[in-house]
Amino acid sequence: MTAKTGLDALLTPERSVLLIIDHRRFNSPTCISHEPTLVVNNIVGLAKAAKAFKVPTILTTVTEERGGYLLQGIQDVFPTEKPINRTFINTWEDQRVVEEVKKTGGATHHRSAVDGSLPRDAGLSRAWPTAMTSSS
């Protein structure tokens, strides 16, 4: 695969997919690198921008039945979308997530996957190497 340069290297709605991974109520306060309200406002703002620009967006959470519900502010942006309730920590081990990404064109040379997870999120810590090898 050839590296993109110039305007071809920019993210565009037509060549992107946003994954909002594991933004649950109890995750934001544990993010010590940023103030929790800032984290929530930023991810809700990212969700609103994705919707406004018609970027395909995939919502995921884990252990929803134990209180792992998606932040209400994100769910309010996508009221008809049901988050994928994963049982795997690694997001890319859940075939439903992989299939949803593939439906958009996938994390390939045609589309860039934009990560909307917390910086220390275990759901993504091992995910990108898996995603890159499975999408080739």
Report the distance separating Cα 103 and Cα 88, nearest Å. 21
CATH number of the domain where residue 122 is located: 3.40.50.850
Compute the average pLDDT of residues 34-48: 85
In angstroms, the CA 97 to CA 75 distance is: 17
**Confidence (pTM):** 0.74
Q: How many domains does the chain divide into?
A: 1
Closest CA to 114 of 99, 98, 101: 101
Indicate whether 4 belongs to any domain.
no
Residue 12, domain member (yes or no): no
Examine residue 102 and state whether it is found in any structural domain, yes or no: yes
Domain coverage including residue 117: 23-135
3-state secondary structure of 100: helix
pLDDT digits (tens, 9 = 90+) for 95-107: 998 888 888 876 5
The 10s digit of each residue's pLDDT in 46-86 is 999 999 999 999 998 887 777 778 889 999 999 999 999 98
In a domain, 14, yes or no: no
d(CA 59, CA 65): 16
Q: Does residue 33 lie in a domain region?
A: yes
Residue 9 resides in a domain: no
Rounded to whole angstroms, the Cα distance separating 101 from 115 reads: 12
